[in-house]
Chain A
Amino acid sequence: MLNIFLLPLAILISYIFLYDEIINKTNYVITSTGYIALVYLVITLSLPLLKNNSLKVKTRLFGISAFYFSMIHFILYVIDNSYDLVFIMEDALFRNYIIVGYLALILLIPMYLTSFKYFKDKIKEWKKLHKIIYVVYFFILVHIYFIIKADYYYLILFSSIFLVIIIFKRYNIYKLNE
């Protein structure tokens, strides 16, 4: 947890305060925490594909950290709007990227909870439940799509990664069945 969550967070925070080239600091942290969360989701999806047991242990930590970064991403958005609930509600109702952002965030919660033994014991089907990650990833792609003004470079990049991961998983299942 130290290496995967706290260290990147510390680097990000010190970067903003020590490096004076970042002009719009709040926007920068909001955007970076969002992208870090997405990259962590990519890692969470890809690590099991490597079939390396020592790395598999880390999968859970990356998943949990992805949730923490999304939460920071969301909390900063609330702070950035001065905790103004009317404004935040209006955003949630009228802005597409905010709506899908909430959907992705809410769907992360059951996965986060069932990462802990207490809930794993209660919900035996937790492994099936974790398939929601694909839906979350899809919502994040839509979230990015709605916020991009014109340059779809990052959307294409993360959509391609998503496709490659899905193809690999399908291929693995196919091989197992043979």
Chain B
Amino acid sequence: MSKYCLKENHVTDEKLFNQRRAIIKSSLAFSLLTFSNLLFSNDKKLIFSKDMKYSTNEETNTFKQITSYNNFYELGSGKRDPMMNAEKLNTNDWTVSIDGEVKNKVILNKDDFINKFPLEERIYRLRCVEAWSMVVPWIGFELNHIIKLAEPTYKAKYIAFESVYDPENLPGQKRNILAWPYREGLRLDEARNPLTILSVGLYGRILPNQNGSPIRLIVPWKYGFKSIKSITKISFVEKMPDTSWNLEAPNEYGFYSNVNPYVSHPRWSQKRERRIGEFRKRDTLMHNGYAEHVAQLYEGMDLTKYF
């Protein structure tokens, strides 16, 4: 008798019972969705070739050093802030518009950067203007690929880069620390130099947010602040563009900001640097050791004037 005595709450509602197949399908779809999210999360391994021509064979800094000692004022001005606030940078639905004096105006999303261009590993020295340095195994591609894609007109002389602007979520942009959004620029011939890359990853993985995800610039012969993070806009322009640090302190940060031990900054002598992880400082090299590739770009220029 008790065998057939089901309580009301033990009986599946007829409506739900009739939708049973749909429910299973939707839950399957949901799990597929989460699976695909996992695929595209930061743990995704990138496919890339190893560059031998421009990479240094110096010992690279550890993943931990590279990802927990950062200058990324959008995420806070302390060295550990970018790591602590990393999740506040929202990189979903990220697009980069490429415009200005070009034949082809393009908008690329973050997957385009991973799939459309031949990724390679470039192990570069990174010299911060604050007199410290690291060696980082970046994954990226030459900026040349973007220049070819956009086809700049004869008017284009410079490239202006713009970083993310999201004061609602980015703690550093809640105050006027710098002229937001962060802006940087290169002369077109500097941008065309094969050393100049756009990076999408490091240590074989997608860039962590604090390192400028999803796409950032790397210009290894210039001080670190030139290598703008989390780019949203690349414009080809005729006139020398404004740059954020130059607007903040024009006598301290010039447009070129090439690593130069002979031109000192009002706050830091640039003769030496600390390689992160080492105790004794080492001598800073002209153009951060990349002079053979870039010195010709500045021939005839007074580098104490055009610092």
Contacts and interface: CB of A to CB of B under 8 A. Distances in A.
A2 to B, nearest CB: 29
B132 interface: yes
Contacts of B49: none
A23 B73 contact: no
A49 B6 CA distance: 78
B53 interface: no
B274 interface: yes
A26 B274 contact: yes
B73 A151 contact: yes
B266 A95 contact: yes
The 6 A-B pairs of least Cβ separation, nearest first, read A151-B77, A23-B69, A151-B177, A150-B177, A23-B65, A150-B178
Contacts of A178: none
B269 A150 contact: no
B276 interface: yes
Contact of B267 (A24, A81, A146): A146
B266 A96 contact: yes
Which of A21, A23, A96, A146 has the most C-beta atoms of chain B within 10 angstroms of its own C-beta? A23
Contacts of A150: 73, 77, 177-178, 248
A94 B80 contact: no
A27 interface: yes
Interface string A124-151: 0000000000000000000000110111
B105 interface: no
Contacts of B276: 23-24
A24 B132 contact: yes
A24 B79 contact: yes
Given A26-B279, A27-B132, A82-B280, A21 B80 contact: yes
B271 interface: yes
A169 to B, nearest CB: 31
B81 to A, nearest CB: 10
A119 interface: no
B84 to A, nearest CB: 10
B7 to A, nearest CB: 56
A27 B79 CA distance: 11
Contacts of B281: 80-82
B248 A24 contact: no
Interface of B: 64-65, 68-69, 73, 77, 79-80, 130, 132, 175, 177-178, 248-249, 264, 266-267, 269, 271-272, 274, 276-277, 279-281
A147 B267 contact: yes
Contacts of B130: 149
A149 B248 CA distance: 9
Given A24-B276, A80-B281, A82-B281, A91 B68 contact: no
B77 A21 contact: no
A40 interface: no
A149 B279 CA distance: 24
10 contacts: A23-B276, A23-B277, A24-B69, A81-B281, A87-B269, A87-B271, A95-B267, A95-B269, A97-B267, A149-B267
A121 interface: no
Given A87-B272, A151-B175, 16 more contacts: A21-B68, A23-B277, A81-B272, A82-B280, A87-B269, A90-B269, A94-B269, A95-B266, A97-B267, A146-B267, A149-B130, A149-B248, A150-B77, A150-B248, A151-B77, A151-B177
A27 B269 CA distance: 15
A27 B177 CA distance: 22
Contacts of B279: 26
Contacts of B73: 150-151
Contact of A23 (B77, B79, B178): B79
A151 B73 CA distance: 9
A139 to B, nearest CB: 17
Contacts of A147: 267
Given A97-B267, A150-B177, A24 B274 contact: yes
Contact of A94 (B69, B79, B264, B274): B264
A145 to B, nearest CB: 11
Contacts of B77: 150-151, 153
A42 B111 CA distance: 53
